[in-house]
Amino acid sequence: MTKQTHFRFDENTFEYKPIQPDSRDKWVYSVIHWSLSTVLVTILGYTLLGKLTLSPGELSLSQENQILLGELLSTQTKISSLEEHLAALQESDNQMYRSILGMPKIDEEVQMGVGGTDIYASFDLLSEQASQILRETQSTLDKLERQTGRQSLSFEEIKAAYNKNREKMKHLPAIRPINGVLLSGYGVRIHPVYNRQRMHDGVDFRADVGTPVYATGDAKIRSAGRNGTYGNLLILDHGFGYETRYAHLSGFTEGIRAGKNIKRGDLIGYSGDTGLTSGPHLHYEILKDGEPVDPLNYMFADITPEEYLLFREISDNNPMSMD
Ligand SMILES: [Zn+2]
């Protein structure tokens, strides 16, 4: 195969001179190389210029936007925790105060009809991300506003009902009988000794032998003594159909005897391990008109809504009782 010879016109000598093939390749390579570099530099330049040509005002606005977006997101987190707090308040109101005072439960969130108009449409003028965050935040705030309104109404109702029933409220069991950890709740539970499902008529608090036990409402002592599988048992008659029972005690406070009147918070005895148990604890029962009820709903005078939810979760999820 013969190589083709290419010529170049030399302006000095006015003649065509052959070009060496390899030097021609180098020349073509250089041209391509420079063209590509120019294109790359131009693209890079435009990109950089795009940023640099933002006026100082625009630049500070763009930074401000970033900060505002961050603030919005953190506000959203705070609102969520407020929402949880309100939900806990509503739950404890319904389960404790309202049910005990014989009041109907607070209505759940009623969906508000907005007649097909989008009340948050003005946010759509903003960037998609900002618009979405603002929509969510505003709608949650609106919901919270309605919920807070209902809650404060409920609070007024509870206060009124409480004032009307002052004497009864003093007698109702309304505090924790012991400063111990709630271990098992009311309802069907696996019995720790018989190892089969049985109705658990009370709640169990884990407590070392000798932990003080208190009367949970004003009452008259019905009985204090040994009582089969209950071990040392104290029964209080609160009137208004209410009775409380404190089981497995290690002993009673001096002067505790049937017929004596006592006040809420009085020391009545000490927790123990007597009777049929799987370890030291206090078994606490409340009876209303002779029927056991869930004691967890009768601790409203000294637990917070959050504690109530925590106790409820422990109580509902532990399948075992200590009996
Ligand atoms: Zn028990």
Query: For tokens 């009545």, what's the residue?
Result: 268
- Residue 12 domain-assigned? yes
7-53 confidence digits (pLDDT tens):
677 777 777 776 665 665 666 667 667 777 777 776 666 666 666 67
> Could you tell me the distance, in angstroms and rounded to a whole number, from the CA of residue 314 to the centre of ligand 1?
14
CA of 68 to the centre of ligand 1 (A): 54
What interhelical angle do 56-92 and 305-317 show, nearest 10?
60
Q: Is residue 134 part of a domain?
A: no
What is the amino acid identity at position 144? L
Per the CB < 8 A criterion, the answer to whether 210 and 272 are in contact is yes
Domain assignment of residue 161, yes or no: no
How far apart, in whole angstroms, are the C-alpha atoms of residue 244 and residue 256? 15
Axis-axis angle for helices 56-92, 128-164 (nearest 10)? 30
The answer to whether 144 touches 268, Cβ cutoff 8 Å, is no
The count of domains in the chain is 2
pLDDT of residue 269: 98
Range of the domain at 32: 6-45
**Which CATH number is 305's domain given?**
2.70.70.10
Q: How far apart are CA 305 and CA 82, in angstroms?
A: 13
How much distance in Å is there from the Cα of 232 to the middle of ligand 1?
A: 13
Give the model confidence (pLDDT) of 186-236 as tens digits.
Answer: 999 999 888 889 999 999 999 999 999 999 999 999 999 999 999 999 999
- What pairs with residue 249 in β-bridges? 232
Q: Is the pTM of this model over 0.75?
A: no
Environment class of 220 (CB within 10 Å of its CB; exposed 0-12, middle 13-18, buried 19+): middle
Expressed in angstroms and rounded, the spacing between residue 168 Cα and the centre of ligand 1 is 27
How many angstroms does the Cα of residue 274 sit away from the middle of ligand 1?
12
Residue 109 vs residue 163, higher pLDDT: 163
Q: Residue 77 C-alpha to ligand 1 middle, in angstroms?
A: 40
In a domain, 97, yes or no: no
CA 137 to ligand 1 center in whole angstroms: 45
Per-state percent for the chain, helix, strand, coil, to nearest 5: 45, 25, 30
Question: Does 85 map to a domain?
Answer: no
Ligand 1 geometric centre to CA of 306 (Å) = 23
Among 87, 98, 88, 90, CA closest to 157? 98
| Residue 285 CA to ligand 1 centre (angstroms) | 8
Report how far residue 305's alpha carbon sits from residue 69's, in angstroms, rounded to the nearest whole number: 33
Bridge partners for 281 per DSSP: 206, 272
> What is residue 41's predicted lDDT score, i.e. its pLDDT?
72
Q: What mean pLDDT, rounded, does the chain reach?
A: 86
Of 86 and 268, more confident: 268
Residues 309, 316: contact at Cβ < 8 Å?
A: no
How far apart are the two ends of the chain, measured CA to CA in Å? 105
Which tokens is 61 given? 């606005």
Residue type at 121 in one-letter notation:
A
Any domain includes 86:
no
Q: Look-up: residue for tokens 């009775």?
A: 243
Q: How many angstroms is it from 54 CA to the middle of ligand 1?
A: 72
Ligand 1 centroid to Cα of residue 276, in Å, is 10
Largest CA distance in the chain: 137
DSSP 244-303: EEEEEESEE-TT--TT-EE-TT-EEEE-B--SS-SSSEEEEEEEETTEEE-GGGG-TTT-
In a domain, 306, yes or no: yes
Alpha-carbon torsion angle 309, 279, 202, 204, nearest 10: -20
Burial of residue 219, with CB atoms counted within 10 A of its CB: 0-12 exposed, 13-18 middle, 19 or more buried: buried
Q: Report the separation in Å between the CA atom of 247 and the middle of ligand 1, taken as the mean of its atom positions.
A: 8
Ligand 1 center from residue 201 Cα (angstroms): 7
Distance 206 CA to ligand 1 centre (A): 10
Between the CA of 88 and the centroid of ligand 1 the distance, in Å, is 26
Three-class SS state of 260: coil
Residue-level pLDDT at 2: 46
Q: Say how many Å lie between the CA of residue 44 and the centre of ligand 1.
A: 76
Ligand 1: distance of its center to the CA of 302 in Å? 21
For residue 1, what pLDDT is reported?
44
Helix (H, G, I), strand (E, B) or coil at 237: strand
Rounded distance from Cα 59 to ligand 1 centre (Å): 67
Tokens 């970033």 correspond to what residue? Answer: 66
Residue 78 resides in a domain? no
